[in-house]
């Protein structure tokens, strides 16, 4: 399983779990999929077969096993522009319907004690929303029987909502349209019982009986701006060694013109993999001589790169106040070591200096 | 593989953050043992515990039992002020403390320049 993608998805599964259970109202409308929607889904199925068996399609799908979430999102957003999807795109462009959406999403299964199914997707406006609206989303739900996890298939959806309105809880019930083995079609409805749309899922295994699934959709980004934002991961997959950044000391702050304190946060990246923030959001204010006992544990195999920033709300590299490279070979189990920035970020009268204290607490933990 | 346990008994508020702006802090904890899956207390994405100056929050887990955190190397407890529903990007970091193996009972006082002043009372179980 792709650990970078898995870690990034973990931020959403955590939030989904903390949402708790929701009361469901079964839809009053009959669960059927209209002929128009069936035709669109059938065409999507054909386009997907052409794409996934093409040389470049197979290569792109294989790459999902190594890329991160933003790269996967960009790849999904571009799918509709592949030559194999030209016919479908032409059909969608001519649909004469109210503001609606068509979505393409890759289905990923991950396991965090229990199994989750996630769909990384993009929704484009069709009908009255054509050309004016898109959104990127991530849906998560609980699933059973994960074998190894990873990319398991694709989901196409045709929705009654505009792309930015696809967020929130949804329930789906399988509806058999005889599309064939390994393909399931379903109607999705909201917790208030209104029909949201129809989906076609290719891959992911067959299950007996009528499948009913709950999911929650996060809008990661949309043209209309009403998104849930990009959630930052905190969960770290276990590696061989564990250190704790026990404290961070401000020997001299950067003078950003906003008082005599810095709004400090840092990023850390172990073995050039997922980048994390601490605090996960926001910052901790520090003045000259202050020590922040941050206590951030980090799993790593060989090395960790830590960057300290001053948060002025712009998140540009200009706010970088320190860069620290920690190699396993620099550390001794149970001992605390002080690290200085590998580069001097002082300029003019600004003698910026931060040091960090690091303690190695576990070595070869997986052996 | 958890080898150690600590009970977080209570949190005492000596002073809230952002004095005079809001009616107390909407406090919640995120507890992360050994870098694993974080647990939010109280459970539920928009749940928090309102605290004002002089308040004590006696902590329980999501089943109403004592809040006991199991860990092998360390458990990081972060205090947050919940400002706005549904968007963690707007939560305010109050402070944090990393508990490593130890014994006995004690307290940790955590302050920031935004006037937040909280004390965590804990007891090591093993």
Q: What is the pLDDT of residue B22?
A: 61
Of B45, B78, B92, the CB nearest to A15: B45
A293 touches chain B (CB under 8 A): yes
Closest Cβ opposite residue B89 in set A244, A281, A362: A281
- Cβ distance of A282 and B93 shorter than 8 Å: yes
The Cα A322–Cα A307 span in angstroms is: 6
Distance (Å) from the alpha carbon of B54 to chain A's nearest alpha carbon: 24
Domain region containing B72: 4-124
Alpha-carbon span A306 to A327, nearest angstrom: 11
SS3 (DSSP) at A63:
helix
Length of chain B in residues, anyone? 126
Contact (CB<8Å) A298/B113: no
Q: What is the pLDDT of residue A232?
A: 86
Among candidate residues B81, B74, B66, the one with its CA nearest the CA of residue B122: B66
- What's the N-to-C CA distance of chain A in angstroms? 20
Residues of B in contact with A113 (CB under 8 A): 37
Q: Are B98 and B84 in contact (CB under 8 A)?
A: no
Q: Do B48 and B28 touch, CB atoms closer than 8 A?
A: yes
Residue A289, pLDDT > 70, answer yes
Q: What is the pLDDT of residue B87?
A: 64
Q: In the structure, what pLDDT confidence band is assigned to residue A50 with cuts at 50, 70 and 90?
A: very high
A241-362 is a CATH 2.60.40.150 domain: yes
Average pLDDT over residues A242-256: 92
- Cβ neighbors of A246 (< 8 A, separation 6 or more) are A293, A294, A295, A336, A357, A358, A359, B98
- For β-strands B39-41 and B75-81, DSSP reports them as unpaired
Q: Are the beta carbons of B98 and A279 separated by less than 8 Å?
A: no
What is the per-residue pLDDT across A158-214, written as a single tens digit (0 to 9) for each? 999 888 888 888 988 888 888 877 888 899 988 887 888 999 998 865 554 557 888
Q: Which helix (H) or strand (E) holds A189?
A: strand A183-189
Domain with CATH 2.60.40.150 in chain A: 241-362
A199-224: pLDDT as tens digits: 999 886 555 455 788 899 998 877 66
Q: Do A295 and B97 touch (CB under 8 A)?
A: yes
Please give the Cα distance from A312 to A62 (Å, whole number): 39
What's the structural domain count of chain B? 1
How do residues B1-26 score in pLDDT, each as one tens digit?
679 999 999 999 999 997 555 678 99
Q: What is the CA radius of gyration of chain B?
A: 14
ipTM for the complex? Answer: 0.93
- CA–CA dist A155, A54 (Å, integer): 18
- Check: CB of residue A78 under 8 Å from CB of residue A121: no
CATH number, domain with residue B41: 2.60.40.150
Q: Is the pLDDT of residue A229 over 90?
A: no
Looking at the complex, report in whole angstroms how far the Cα of residue B33 sits from the nearest Cα belonging to chain A. Answer: 9
CB contact under 8 A, B76 and A297: yes
């Amino acid at each position: 399983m792709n650990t970078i993608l898995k870690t990034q998805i973990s931020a959403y599964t955590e939030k989904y779990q903390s949402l708790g259970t929701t009361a469901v109202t079964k839809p009053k409308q009959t669960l059927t999929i209209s002929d128009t929607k069936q035709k669109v889904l059938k065409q999507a199925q054909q386009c997907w077969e052409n794409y996934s068996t093409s040389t470049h399609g197979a290569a792109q799908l294989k790459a999902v096993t190594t890329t991160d979430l933003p790269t996967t999102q960009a790849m999904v957003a571009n799918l509709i522009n592949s030559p194999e999807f030209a016919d479908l795109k032409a059909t969608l462009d001519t649909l004469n319907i109210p503001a609606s959406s068509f979505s393409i999403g890759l289905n990923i299964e991950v396991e965090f004690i229990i199994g989750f199914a996630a769909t990384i997707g993009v929704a484009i406006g069709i009908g009255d929303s054509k050309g004016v609206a898109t959104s990127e989303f991530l849906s998560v739900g609980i699933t059973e029987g994960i074998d190894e996890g990873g990319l398991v298939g694709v989901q196409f959806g045709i929705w009654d909502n505009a792309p930015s309105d696809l967020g929130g809880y949804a329930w789906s019930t399988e509806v058999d349209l005889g599309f064939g083995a390994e393909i399931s079609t379903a109607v999705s409805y909201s917790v208030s019982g209104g029909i949201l749309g129809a989906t076609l899922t290719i891959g992911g295994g067959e299950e007996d009986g009528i499948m009913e699934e709950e999911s929650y959709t996060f809008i990661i980004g949309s043209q209309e701006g009403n998104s849930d934002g990009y959630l930052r991961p905190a969960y770290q997959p276990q590696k061989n060694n564990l250190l704790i950044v026990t404290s961070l000391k401000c020997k001299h702050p950067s003078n950003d013109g906003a008082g005599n304190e810095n709004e400090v946060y840092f990023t850390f990246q172990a073995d050039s993999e997922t980048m994390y923030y601490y605090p996960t959001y926001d910052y901790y204010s520090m003045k000259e001589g202050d020590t922040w006992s941050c206590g951030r544990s980090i799993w790593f195999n060989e090395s960790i790169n830590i960057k300290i920033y001053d948060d002025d709300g712009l998140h540009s590299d200009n706010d970088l106040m320190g860069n620290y490279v920690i190699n396993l070979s620099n550390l001794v189990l149970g001992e605390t070591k002080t690290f200085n920035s590998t580069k001097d970020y002082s300029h003019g009268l600004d003698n910026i200096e931060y040091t960090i204290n690091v303690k190695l607490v576990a070595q070869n933990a997986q052996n | 593989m958890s080898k150690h346990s600590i009970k977080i008994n209570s949190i005492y508020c000596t002073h809230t953050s952002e004095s005079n702006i809001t009616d107390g802090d909407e406090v919640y904890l995120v507890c992360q043992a050994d870098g694993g899956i974080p647990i939010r207390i109280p459970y539920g994405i928009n749940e928090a515990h309102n605290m004002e100056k002089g308040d004590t929050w006696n902590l329980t887990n999501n089943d109403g039992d004592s809040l006991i955190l199991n860990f092998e190397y360390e458990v990081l407890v972060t205090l947050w002020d919940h400002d706005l529903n549904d968007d963690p990007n707007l939560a305010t970091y109050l402070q944090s403390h990393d508990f490593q193996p130890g014994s006995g009972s004690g307290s940790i006082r955590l302050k920031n320049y935004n006037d937040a002043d909280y004390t965590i009372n804990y007891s090591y179980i093993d």
